[in-house]
Amino acid sequence: MDINDVYNLLKKVFEDGIGELKTGIPVEDCIYVEAGKIEAVCFFLRDEERLQFDALMCLSGVDKDKTTLTTVYHLYSYALKHRLTIKVDVPKDNPVVQSVYQVWSTAEWHERESYDLLGIKYEGNPDLRRILLPEDWEGHPLLKDYKVQEFYNGMKVPY
């Protein structure tokens, strides 16, 4: 199945839950999905016989622009040997995305990392804590407008 077929199939099942299909950008095409529908879409992608995306290769958070954060899902199917990229845009003032932990347990740590470094909140993740930074760290470093805190527990941070 090529990306157009996948897109049409998703559009037929989920209608408004699926955003636009982006092709033509160099190297990789992607499909946009609504933040509140991502879990259902992912269950469908995993369990549908023609798709069988049984593995989540990578989940990345991206600071897209001044108002938007993006979560990018790179999926792979060991059964059918094809891949797919899904994106979810959320506004910076309310960055909440459904967790896909129930679909692929790989997502648990990846979502924690994305939460830690960008502040995207994954609803339904069983253990949404910081993972790489200390728990009492302030701010989310991968945001483009991030400014490092001056002191951390009495220690000077920027040098």
Q: What residue ranges bind other proteins (CB under 8 A)? A: 25-28, 54-58, 60, 62-63, 72, 74, 78, 81, 85, 104-106, 108-109, 117, 130-134, 141-142
Q: Which is nearer to other proteins, 36 or 52 (CB)?
A: 52
Round to whole Å and give the CA distance between 61 and 10. 23
Least distance in angstroms from the C-beta of 117 to other proteins = 7
Least distance in angstroms from the C-beta of 5 to other proteins = 21
Is residue 9 within 8 A of residue 53, CB to CB? The reply is no
For residue 75, which of 37, 35, 47 has the smallest C-alpha distance?
A: 47
Amino acid type, 134:
P
Q: Which is nearer to other proteins, 17 or 60 (CB)?
A: 60
Q: Which is nearer to other proteins, 9 or 133 (CB)?
A: 133
Is residue 90 within 8 A of residue 67, CB to CB? The reply is no
Alpha carbon dihedral 39, 41, 47, 53, in 10-degree steps, equals -90
Least distance in angstroms from the C-beta of 15 to other proteins = 27
Least distance in angstroms from the C-beta of 86 to other proteins = 12
How is 64-108 classified by DSSP, letter by letter?
A: -SSSEEEEEEEEE-TTT--EEEEEEEEETTS-EEE--TTT-TTHH
Q: Which is nearer to other proteins, 17 or 19 (CB)?
A: 19
